[in-house]
Amino acid sequence: MAHKFTFYNTLTRKVEEFIPREEGKVSMYTCGPTVYHYAHIGNIRTYIMQDALIKSLKYAGFDVKRVMNITDVGHLSSDADTGEDKMLAGAKREHKTVMEIAKFYTDAFFNDFDAVGNMRPDVVEPATNCIPEFIHMVETLLEKGFAYVAGGNVYFDTSKLNDYYVFSSEVEKEQLQVGVRDDVEEDTNKKNKTDFVLWFTKSKFEDQALKWDSPWGVGYPGWHIECSCISMKHLGEFIDIHCGGVDNIFPHHTNEIAQSESYLGHEWCKYWFHSNHLNDKSGKMSKSKGAILTVSLLKEKGYDPLVYRFFCLQSHYRKPLEFSYEALDQSVQAYNKLVRRVSELKNDGAVDEAVKTEFEEKFTDAVSNDLNTSMAVTVLYDALKADTNDATKLALVESFDKVLSLDLVAHAKSLLEGTEVDPELEKYILDAIQRRTDAKKAKDFATADAIRAELLEKGVEIKDTREGVKWQLI
């Protein structure tokens, strides 16, 4: 029997006990990235908190199957179906094809996704793989009278629903309606301002690179349809939990529910899990706003991606989190201290099973109480301070790592074996690389070469790669 598990359900606006349709089994859907650019550390925060949710559910005794899409078509620059396709804009920016852009940024996404200790979803499906499924859903919505064709495009008719704004309170509904009315880029084909595109054949904007034949002419899908279809393709007519960031609540998840439930004729997903944003001092991080701070970039600056995970786990998923290097540096200190503490534990005999169970219960209580990951970290500290032998403590560190994924035992081992690089040396190397990059930018190649030679003398070899400068000890 699984442990009682609660989290905040955006649909009911309450922290609720989670009860899946099938006892002990969870079907979960996650909105994946739009692969027109790098995923920033904010996007990765969302996937870290989802990973903590999945692993916590497993720790509490549930079986989880998780599906994620990759948005490689149809997401326009505004979430309200206006502007240029983000993928096409990416392709133009980099003088590549849309598929090249999709492949490059999907790989870059998983590189960072894996580096922070996340488990891959059971199924990952790009939107462009499922065009026949999208067409079938749009046809059915037309047959059932929930959609209409206007100006060559197919739209979902939101006036056919009793409650379109499912996630919102009465006050928020009014605000959203005002917001929709204020939308400047009006699409005169729409019968209602909240209607959204299911299939485009005529965009007001530039022609699309990727197009498919459909009963309504050659065109491409709207953004929301992919998540409904990909979820049904792999998880069937019902899902237990749907995840995303808070910006997905409206319009994306609102529209997903509208089309899925109209298509199915019944409730689709009972629990909606949304995590809050990572902000920097200037506000919300955004892929479309200038320089993108990625996990790979943090790594180049000498930060272990797992330290970023640790930083995220120490705050609650429902609260906005402000990123700063000062705050991250504090996590580095705390993480290194933890590793040092774990490295001091000896294998000193038998595990005290009673103590182990007691702490594991405390840990499960923390994560199953609205995913209180910072409390779970506190339980780890408490276990390390407990009045028990080292073997029990080590067993607990390994047990908690099934959820925390901080790789503490392996890091402690490297520290003992001396394969962990001395932080002072690492700082020197990264500074030297930065000085060399600055010299190259200033076309001072003599200095750049001298820095490379200086590093080589200290046993450090550097290589220039597409992802930036890489170094290794030789």
Q: Which residues bind ligand AMP (CB under 6 A)?
A: 31, 33-34, 42-43, 45-46, 244-245, 247-248, 277-278, 284-285, 287
Residue 227 interaction partner, one of Zn ion, ligand AMP, none, beta carbon < 5-8 Å per kind: Zn ion
Among Zn ion, ligand AMP, none, what binds residue 90 when CB lies within 5 to 8 Å by partner kind? none
Strand pairing category for 14-17 and 239-245: unpaired
Rank residues 197 and 278 by Cβ distance to ligand AMP and give the closer one. 278
Tell the smallest beta-carbon distance from residue 244 to ligand AMP (Å): 4
> What's the min distance (Å) between Cβ of 278 and ligand AMP?
4
Does 239 bind Zn ion (CB under 5 A)? Our answer is: no
- Main-chain phi, psi angles of 326, to 5 degrees: -65, -45
Q: Which residues, other chains included, contact 41 with Cβ-Cβ below 8 Å and sequence gap of 6+?
A: 278, 285, 293, 294, 295, 298, 308, 323
Cα–Cα distance for residue pair 198/184, rounded to 1 Å: 21
378 φ/ψ angles, rounded to the nearest 5 degrees: -60, -40
d(CA 407, CA 387): 24
**β-sheet with 239-245: strand ranges across:** 123-126, 63-70, 25-30, 239-245, 269-275
Return the residue matching tokens 């899902």.
239
Nearest approach in angstroms of CB 280 to ligand AMP is 9
What is the C-alpha separation between 431 and 87, in angstroms, rounded? 35
Candidates 25-33, 196-204, 388-396, 460-468: pick the segment binding Zn ion (CB under 5 A). 25-33
Rounded to a whole number of angstroms, the minimum distance from the CB of residue 71 to ligand AMP is 6
SS3 218: coil
Q: Which does 245 bind (CB under 5 to 8 A by kind): Zn ion, ligand AMP, none?
A: ligand AMP
Q: Which is nearer to Zn ion, 253 or 309 (CB)?
A: 253
Instruction: Pick the closer one to ligand AMP by CB: 46 or 56.
Output: 46
# residues contacting Zn ion (CB under 5 A): 2
- 8 closest CA partner among 169, 241, 239, 321: 241
Least CB distance from residue 158 to Zn ion, whole Å? 18
118: number of CA atoms within 13 Å, CB side? 27
Residue closer to ligand AMP by CB (options 248, 296) is 248
* 31 makes contact with Zn ion (CB under 5 A): yes
Q: Which of ligand AMP, Zn ion, none does residue 74 bind (CB under 5 to 8 Å by kind)? A: none
Between 125 and 304, whose beta carbon lies closer to Zn ion?
125
The least distance separating ligand AMP from the CB of residue 441, rounded to whole angstroms, comes to 29
Are 392 and 351 spatial neighbours (Cβ–Cβ below 8 Å)?
Answer: yes
* Contact (Cβ atoms closer than 8 angstroms) between residue 128 and residue 72: yes
CB of 320 to ligand AMP, least distance (A): 8
What does 34 interact with, of Zn ion, ligand AMP, none (CB < 5 to 8 A by kind)? ligand AMP
Among ligand AMP, Zn ion, none, the one that 33 touches (CB under a kind-dependent 5 to 8 A) is ligand AMP
Judged by CB under 5 A, the residue of 39, 108, 135, 227 near Zn ion is 227
Q: Where is 126: in which H helix or E strand?
A: strand 123-126
3-state SS, residue 219: strand
d(CA 51, CA 368): 14
CB of 284 to Zn ion, least distance (A): 19
Residue 42 interacts, among Zn ion, ligand AMP, none and using kind-specific CB cut-offs from 5 to 8 Å, with ligand AMP
The secondary structure of the chain in percent helix, strand, coil, rounded to multiples of 5, reads 50, 15, 35
Residues of the shown chain interacting with Zn ion in the complex, contacts defined by CB under 5 A = 31, 227
